[in-house]
Structure 1
Amino acid sequence: MKRVLGPILRHFVEAGSLRVLWPDATTTVYQGAKPGPQAGVHLKNAAAVKSLVLNPGLAFGEAYMDGVLEPLDCTLYDLLHLLMLNAMNPAGHIAEQLSAAFRYVRRGWIQFNSTARSKQNVAHHYDLGNSLYALFLDKDWQYSCAYFPTGEETLDAAQEAKKHHIASKLKLDRPGLEVLDIGCGWGGMALTLAKDYGASVTGITLSEEQLAFARQRAQDAGLAGQVRFELLDYRHLTRRFDRIVSVGMFEHVGVGHYKAFFETIRNALTPDGIALIHSIGRSDEPGTTNPWMNKYIFPGGYSPALSEVFSAVQQTGLWVTDCEILRLHYARTIAIWRERFAARRPEAVAMYDERFARMFEFYLAAAELAFRVQGHMNFQLLLSPSISAVPYTRDYMVDAERSKTGAN
């Protein structure tokens, strides 16, 4: 298979250079015509070489997890940087092109996130244990894109800024507003909206570990009478709210459920209500989820193109009153998570094992690079059934944000 993979790599590496140490101890350097990063890889057995020929999107991560593929004289991040940058080459790897085309045809099934399947998918990642996430998250347990007004903020400060940035858009201009938090995580957003804005918040999640943790946090903060958390699928909502916020949950909805999701938003809002959806997206056309990421990290997950999102929204009668694109904010967030995880990596090995730790560090490195070199971004979409729910201009957002953060 070396004779098959070699020509593939020669065609694949257009920018930078890749040095390969083969199982037979020979070395080949693949030099691209364009400038770019330099990296090396050691393929330790013939099975690893064969798997990279047949299904590179899945096999590369698995080979790293199994220890039969190792970065050579570079870091994992360096190696992934080179490969993910060159993967944007339209010609690419023929096997991966065919695999991606097949995934696209099947993506309706892959992302068929029924109520039962959604709960299983959430448990796969979010119920791994709070001790794992304590290794790298901020003090408020925000597991989504932070907001860096200057790019120099600490993780804690940037996550705090993210919450106030979102709150400013929701026009929380009077106490007692009923707010729904869809996919509430460990409860940080709900608690902030209650404590700092006087809202009455209901948070819903499908993660039993997050639910118990969030409820305890509300109790400890003395906010149990103002914030409640429920184990509930968004499709089972039966009441209306003045405001809805959803941060980092839309990626788990699935393309076949977009219209139903936004119909649920519309039906759950009061006539002049406002909803904010914060999600990972892609800047290019509709695509598919990497098979390794789908299998090991976020089963059923997908980062949509804006065209897919707007197409669904326009069928529901909702107004898009604002849309903001956050480009490198998540790359910066994940870079900090990577550093923090690496510093406490032995604890992750002790909790699980070496293979799990390799899986998680692979996930964090690949996720960061998706935002740096593969067109991923975050979008914040503001929605309302009413044309007049928010003021004429965005000034109200800026004024509200400055009043809470003191920013100039």
Structure 2
Amino acid sequence: MLFQKLMQKVVEKGNLRLIGAGGRVYDCGDGSGERCTLRLHNRALEYTLVLNPPLYLAEAYMNGTISVEEGSLRGFIEMLARNYHVLENNRLVTLGFALARHTRHLKQYNPVGKAQQNVAHHYDLSGELYDLFLDTDRQYSCAYFRNGDESLEQAQADKKLHLAAKLYLNRPGLKLLDIGSGWGGLGLYMAQAGDCDVTGVTLSTEQHKLSCERAKKAGLEDRVKFHLRDYREDDNRYDRIVSVGMFEHVGKKNYREFFEKVSSLLADDGVFVLHSVGRVNDPGPVNPFIRKYIFPGTDVPTLGEVLPVIEDCMLTVTDVEVLRLHYAETLRHWEERFQANRGKVAELYDERFCRMWEAYLVGCEMGFRHQGLMVFQIQITKSATAVPQTRDYIYEWEHRHAGEASQAAE
């Protein structure tokens, strides 16, 4: 079968066994590591899978037309991730990858209405679903693992602490804007730890509803306001701006619009911290399965694509940090919790949904471990004197507030 020929060329290192729809067995790889056995239940897959393996393999698993009979989905995806460079250079699939690269700009159209549709596709799912795999604060972005053995709650508390330190909250009453405020946890933290007046904006109705409830419950509704609106519709001025996990949805062709708007919102002595998924290698299209089923409209930038636009908008980059395996560890925690609650997820949705999210969580984790994905944090100002000359203030803030973060994680 054609798919078997592709896998025998792609899997240079690993131990993969394929069982075709007719029962014929094929072995791929050098035999190293634990064997993973896949069975194809549809004869057409033996040929169609080669047309777009990243999309059609995940779809087939999601739809139950491929099953893992030995080993695990994690083992199979990791095997492919380790050999992905071979897949990208294979003549059978090169045309599909090239087409994806040349048409990706067509998928980055991002007006206000379209952006809200894309957000609703993912973030307006059942709130109960997110409680089954996220930390108790519902931080749905890369955590910060100082040592690597922290609990998910501690690592997410440390992420908020790390961002607050970079925002240089040097006086009470700072006006802070959170672009893409999620379920409100970061904004509430900034109000409590930094004594800020916080405005959060989200395009998710479910996130907005819960954020407002949380602010009221915490007695902070006078200092923390969440709005269901696009950041482009805001005309106020802010001393501090933070954006976590939102920039991936802006689209390359819209970077200038984003940074020009941020510049107009930011005070002359203000500080902006951008936290985003990125790539360490050449720009490329997002995994087609992720774009189609999980995050429509998403895009993953390189620093080389982002930094020139920031400079062209007359903004100053004052600090850059690359978090390499932090998101891989975050996703590992999420997937473990998801599997522990799989039965409850199936009750909310169905087995097809469970398989789709398995492929999403494990596939993204392996992207960070083996395929050049990372997270970057960029501190941006208008003035060279907006933050101190050295990074000591970051460490001093974290040291002063570390106890609060540990207490919040308990």
TM-score, scaled relative to structure 2:
0.96
Residue identity opposite 1:240 in structure 2: R
**Partner residue of 2:380 out of 373, 383, 387:** 383
Secondary structure of 2:312 counterpart: coil
How far apart, in 2, do the equivalents of 1:199 and 1:184 lie? 15
The answer to whether the Cα contact below 8 Å between 2:137 and 2:185 also exists between their aligned partners in 1 is: yes
**Deviates most, 332-341 or 17-26:** 17-26
The answer to whether the Cα contact below 8 Å between 1:36 and 1:82 also exists between their aligned partners in 2 is: no
Query: Who is 1:252 aligned against?
Result: 249
The answer to whether the Cα contact below 8 Å between 1:37 and 1:82 also exists between their aligned partners in 2 is: no
The answer to whether the Cα contact below 8 Å between 1:285 and 1:307 also exists between their aligned partners in 2 is: no
Residue identity opposite 1:198 in structure 2: D
How far apart, in 2, do the equivalents of 1:333 and 1:84 lie? 18
How far apart, in 1, do the equivalents of 2:97 and 2:164 lie? 38
The answer to whether the Cα contact below 8 Å between 1:12 and 1:92 also exists between their aligned partners in 2 is: no
How far apart, in 2, do the equivalents of 1:37 and 1:285 lie? 31
How far apart, in 1, do the equivalents of 2:121 and 2:114 lie? 11
Matches within 5 A, 1:285-304: 285-304=282-301
- Deviation string 1:277-297 (CA, Å, 9 cap, x unpaired) is 000001101100111111000
Query: Who is 1:401 aligned against?
Result: 398
Query: Who is 1:112 aligned against?
Result: 109
**Deviates most, 89-98 or 309-318:** 89-98
How far apart, in 1, do the equivalents of 2:332 and 2:176 lie? 32
Query: Who is 2:100 aligned against?
Result: 103
Query: Who is 2:175 aligned against?
Result: 178
Query: Who is 1:144 aligned against?
Result: 141
Query: Who is 1:26 aligned against?
Result: 24
TM-score, scaled relative to structure 1:
0.96
Matches within 5 A, 1:67-78: 67-78=64-75
How far apart, in 1, do the equivalents of 2:94 and 2:382 lie? 41
How far apart, in 1, do the equivalents of 2:140 and 2:283 lie? 25
Query: Who is 2:278 aligned against?
Result: 281
How far apart, in 1, do the equivalents of 2:62 and 2:115 lie? 26
Quote the RMSD (CA, aligned, Å): 1.4
1:169 aligns with 2:170: no
**Deviates most, 64-73 or 396-405:** 64-73
Q: Identify if the C-alpha distance between structure 1 residues 298 and 316 changes in structure 2 by more than 3 Å, giving closer, same or farther.
A: same
Secondary structure of 1:88 counterpart: helix
**Partner residue of 2:232 out of 231, 235, 238:** 235
Residue identity opposite 2:381 in structure 1: S
Secondary structure of 1:89 counterpart: helix
1:219 is displaced (CA, Å) by 0.3
Identical-pair percentage: 45
The answer to whether the Cα contact below 8 Å between 1:15 and 1:37 also exists between their aligned partners in 2 is: no
Query: Who is 1:342 aligned against?
Result: 339
Query: Who is 2:13 aligned against?
Result: 15
Any gaps of 5 or more consecutive residues in structure 1? none
**Partner residue of 1:318 out of 292, 315, 318:** 315
How far apart, in 2, do the equivalents of 1:358 and 1:163 lie? 31
Q: Identify if the C-alpha distance between structure 1 residues 91 and 233 changes in structure 2 by more than 3 Å, giving closer, same or farther.
A: closer
How far apart, in 1, do the equivalents of 2:320 and 2:119 lie? 27
1:96 is displaced (CA, Å) by 3.2
1:121 aligns with 2:118: yes
How far apart, in 2, do the equivalents of 1:82 and 1:170 lie? 40
Residue identity opposite 2:25 in structure 1: T
Secondary structure of 1:46 counterpart: coil
How far apart, in 1, do the equivalents of 2:37 and 2:87 lie? 23
The answer to whether the Cα contact below 8 Å between 1:142 and 1:188 also exists between their aligned partners in 2 is: yes
Secondary structure of 2:85 counterpart: coil
1:107 is displaced (CA, Å) by 1.1
Secondary structure of 1:57 counterpart: helix
Query: Who is 1:361 aligned against?
Result: 358
Residue identity opposite 2:118 in structure 1: N
Secondary structure of 2:335 counterpart: helix
Any gaps of 5 or more consecutive residues in structure 2? 406-410
